[in-house]
Amino acid sequence: MKDFFDNATDESRWQAVETRDSRADGQFIFAVKTTGICCRPSCSARHPLRKNVLFFKTLAAAIDAGFRPCKRCQPDKLVPEQQRIDRITQACRLIESSSEPIVLARLAAQVAMSPFHFHRLFKQVTGLTPHAWQKALRAKRLREQLTQGDLVTRAIFDAGYQSGSNFYQQANEVLGMTAKQYRQGGERTVIQFVTGSCWLGEFLVARSERGICAILLGNDAQELGHELETLFPHSSLMTGDEQFAQSVAQVVSFLEHPCEHFSLPLDIQGTAFQQQVWQALRDIPAGQTASYSDIAQRIGKPQAVRAVAGACAANKLAVIIPCHRVVRNDGAISGYRWGVERKRQLLEIEAKLQEE
């Protein structure tokens, strides 16, 4: 119906007028030569004779031609329904762009309505009261920011909660746990893990509901288990089921062939900065290395060399996030979370695989 005027003929327009087709409203205006009045297609007034009718694409064009808007169908006003929805949409945009909750009276005033009518209409259009809608929006923002790894207090502030304590009162309602627990991986999350040995020594692979969340390397399976506990203190750890044990074979195969594509879903938990560094590490191709200051440059924070080194050391996904490909500025192999010897072995095998 959008191109009614352009695609329609005068005949089909007249038909829309005769049938008072409201879908044609806004598509064209008809004017009556004998009365000097112009109308929406759906006008409920008695129909003029066809020979006295002219069609215009817009109301402005009809007015330019000397016609007055009809008092009954008011083509100079938005379709009332649309007008009401527009006001609610406008209110929603106001809420979204505000960093703080907006009280009902102010919202209603902004869209030129009485608080009473505004409240009723808002609920009709969105299905929620303005208060509930704002609350839902803040909760959504907070969940997004917490999963991105923002600091708890900043996330609360950015999500539009006026004070931390106000949020903490509502925390259980919103997240089902406190923000801190949510941020730390969630008290309710279950993490399955499997240990085994591979060419690099002992390994532990862990998976949350979202994906592989840890790959640890070491010399002792029990120690790796303790390390996992430290990394995810609020999760329930349990031994992996048969299905998971099978997918671990893919991880082990990747440890042996770090140049190949890894397709299992990952659950990468960390602060926004860490995630940025880890992404930059994943962009270093196998067989190549970069220095800490290269990475700092690549993420646009050339001063943050030490913080980059810190993020490398905090990596929980050995080999998949290839922190072993980061070396000292002079190219020397420096510290590695899982031992310098393993780092050297990994770089060697990658260089060899690239040659093949």
Residue numbers of the site for Zn ion (CB under 5 A)? 39, 43, 45, 70, 72-73
Long-range pairs for 93-96 at CB < 8 Å and ≥24 separation?
95/130, 95/133, 95/134, 95/137, 96/137
The nearest distance, CB 30 to Zn ion, in angstroms, is 9
User: Which residue of the chain is nearest Zn ion when measured via CB?
Assistant: 70
Looking at the Cβ atoms of 49 and 332, the one nearer to Zn ion is 49
Number of alpha carbons in the 13 Å side-chain half-sphere of residue 332: 3
Q: Cα(201)–Cα(158) distance, rounded to whole angstroms?
A: 44
The nearest distance, CB 93 to Zn ion, in angstroms, is 32
Angle between helices 115-126 and 130-147 (to 10 degrees): 50
Q: Cα(186)–Cα(164) distance, rounded to whole angstroms?
A: 19
The nearest distance, CB 73 to Zn ion, in angstroms, is 3
Looking at the Cβ atoms of 62 and 107, the one nearer to Zn ion is 62
Looking at the Cβ atoms of 70 and 224, the one nearer to Zn ion is 70
- Determine whether 323 is an active site residue: yes
Please tell me which residue in 38, 39, 70, 312 is annotated as part of the active site: 39
Q: Are 4 and 30 in contact (CB under 8 A)?
A: no
Looking at the Cβ atoms of 68 and 120, the one nearer to Zn ion is 68
* CB neighbour list of residue 4: distance below 8 Å, 6 or more residues apart: 13, 16, 24, 27, 28
The nearest distance, CB 105 to Zn ion, in angstroms, is 36
The nearest distance, CB 11 to Zn ion, in angstroms, is 21
Looking at the Cβ atoms of 25 and 267, the one nearer to Zn ion is 25
- Determine whether 259 is an active site residue: no
Looking at the Cβ atoms of 41 and 185, the one nearer to Zn ion is 41
DSSP string, 18-64: HTT-GGGTTT-EEEETTTTEEE-TT--SPP--GGGEEEESSHHHHHH
Residue in 342, 269, 214 with CA at minimum distance from that of residue 205: 214
Please tell me which residue in 70, 213, 312, 323 is annotated as part of the active site: 323
Token couple for 235: 């999760």
State the virtual CA torsion across 199, 202, 207, 211 in degrees, nearest 10: -30
The nearest distance, CB 160 to Zn ion, in angstroms, is 45
**Residue 285 DSSP class:** P
Q: 213, exposed or middle or buried, with CB in 10 Å at 0-12, 13-18, 19+?
A: buried
Catalytic residues: 39, 323
